[in-house]
Structure 1
Amino acid sequence: MPIIINETNAYIQLRDKAEAQLQAGTAPSASHGSVGVDALRLLHRLSSNPDNADDALKLLHELQVHQVELDLQNEEIAANERALVEDLSLYRTLFDSAPLGYLLVDLEGNVIQGNFAAAELFGIERDEFEGHPIDTLLLAQSRPKLLGLLQQVAQSGARASCVAETAGSTGTRHMQCFASLAPERKHLLLVCCECANAE
């Protein structure tokens, strides 16, 4: 029930704003729509008859208010879209530039996406991550640990971690891997960082 009340209030506020802009002469000039030919013919026919002239003026006013409402809604949609693009850009920058390795993996352990720190940690190019099974980036003895971690987190939903090993240019690299389940329960977030000692 509150949703209906909120929608009604939003419509009333929109209509009041449109009415105020029409009265003040500040309605948006860049109208995205126009009155249709049939509506103009009806208005002409109604206004030609003195008995219906008041109805024609009321109808014209309603059409103008409705057009201003549509223009205001379009402006709001455009502003929301700009805000979403800015938010997406911010979160993309945070993900890409994070000092820790961030990986988004599916429940089977295939990488959907990884950031630059993860690519450096695993010693591959970032664009090679997509679809790559995460365990194949590790030394053989670490594969069961990481896959077990992912399976445990996928089933329980609880956060967990393990230490895994990968081969680096200077030898074996130990990394701490933290996993959590995404809210929609279709993906896992894996955060990895290099650590000095094995488990």
Structure 2
Amino acid sequence: MTDKLTPPPISNELRQRAEQQLRTGTAQLNNASTASSDALGALYRLSSTANTASDGLKLLHELQTYQVELDVQLEQLQHDEREHSQELSCYRQFFAICPLACLMLSLNGTIIAANDAAGRLFSHAATNVAEHASESLCGRPVFSLFCPSCQPMLSAALAKVQRNQQSATLIATPVSRAAEPRSTADSMQLSITLSPDHNTILIMLT
């Protein structure tokens, strides 16, 4: 046998599960897990000669085990993907219905997501259709949603959060609503947090 016919190890746990399934006859090979023509040819040559028949059987067993390992690994990945998809869907729903206005920003201050409460709060800056306001906020610079006098403080707070990787709070005033040009919304407290992966910023307004 040559080294190229020996499957690379994956993990002891996968190997044990694969061996158990083969022993109990519960292994169900995925259609994608099929031996190559080269491997089948090598098995045929080994098994057809008395001196190498035992090697052929060993290689066949190793190949079957490796295929089951791949199927077990695929099954686990699919299970994890389903769980993560469910968790992500749950978090998105909570984000959407959160009573506090929430904005998710890229590191340069561009809005990449906004919940319904933020859409209602900043609907004057997005669209006249309230139900589409949160979507229309995406792609806008967050600074455009606040009075010019607040923008330097907001910029400094965002930079501080990224630099120190800690949360920050400040008081800022949203820009005037289009329907009420002579008045401004009350000042609000902004809680700014950097995501654990340091790639996203979350702003919650209270």
Q: Does the 8 Å contact 2:105/2:111 carry over to 1?
A: yes
Q: Counterparts of 1:108 and 1:63 in 2: how far apart (Å)?
A: 51
Asked if residue 172 in structure 1 is aligned to residue 184 in structure 2, the reply is yes
Q: Counterparts of 2:21 and 2:101 in 1: how far apart (Å)?
A: 52
Deviation at 1:186, TM superposition (A): 4.3
Equivalenced residues, count: 185
Quick one: which of 123, 132, 136 aligns to 2:140? 132
Question: What does residue 78 of structure 2 align with?
Answer: 78
Deviation at 1:108, TM superposition (A): 4.0
Matches for 1:9-48 after TM superposition, within 5 Å: 11-48=11-48
Q: Does the 8 Å contact 1:31/1:71 carry over to 2?
A: no
Q: What's the RMSD between the two structures over aligned residues?
A: 2.3
Q: For residues 55-91 of structure 1, give each alpha carbon's deviation from its aligned partner in whole angstroms, at most 9, with x where no partner exists.
A: 1111111111111111111111111111111111111
Q: Counterparts of 1:45 and 1:157 in 2: how far apart (Å)?
A: 62
Asked if residue 163 in structure 1 is aligned to residue 171 in structure 2, the reply is yes
Structure 2 portions without partners, runs of 5+: 1-8, 127-132
Q: Does the 8 Å contact 1:113/1:130 carry over to 2?
A: yes
Q: Does the 8 Å contact 2:29/2:67 carry over to 1?
A: no
Moved more, 10-19 or 87-96: 10-19
Give the TM-score taking structure 1 as reference length: 0.80
Q: Counterparts of 2:107 and 2:55 in 1: how far apart (Å)?
A: 63
Q: Does the 8 Å contact 2:103/2:111 carry over to 1?
A: yes
Deviation at 1:31, TM superposition (A): 3.8
Deviation at 1:99, TM superposition (A): 0.9
Q: For residues 21-63 of structure 1, give each alpha carbon's deviation from its aligned partner in whole angstroms, at most 9, with x where no partner exists.
A: 1111100143422112222222222222122211111111111
> Are the structure 2 counterparts of residues 16 and 106 from structure 1 closer, same or farther at C-alpha, using a change threshold of 3 Å?
closer
Give the TM-score taking structure 2 as reference length: 0.78
Q: Counterparts of 1:29 and 1:158 in 2: how far apart (Å)?
A: 49
Question: What does residue 105 of structure 2 align with?
Answer: 105
Moved more, 99-108 or 164-173: 164-173
SS of 1:21's partner is helix
Structure 1 portions without partners, runs of 5+: 1-7, 194-199
Question: What does residue 183 of structure 1 align with?
Answer: 196
> Are the structure 2 counterparts of residues 48 and 185 from structure 1 closer, same or farther at C-alpha, using a change threshold of 3 Å?
closer
Question: What does residue 6 of structure 2 align with?
Answer: none
Moved more, 176-185 or 19-28: 176-185
- The residue type equivalent to 2:114 in the other structure is G
SS of 1:60's partner is helix
Q: Counterparts of 2:200 and 2:57 in 1: how far apart (Å)?
A: 58
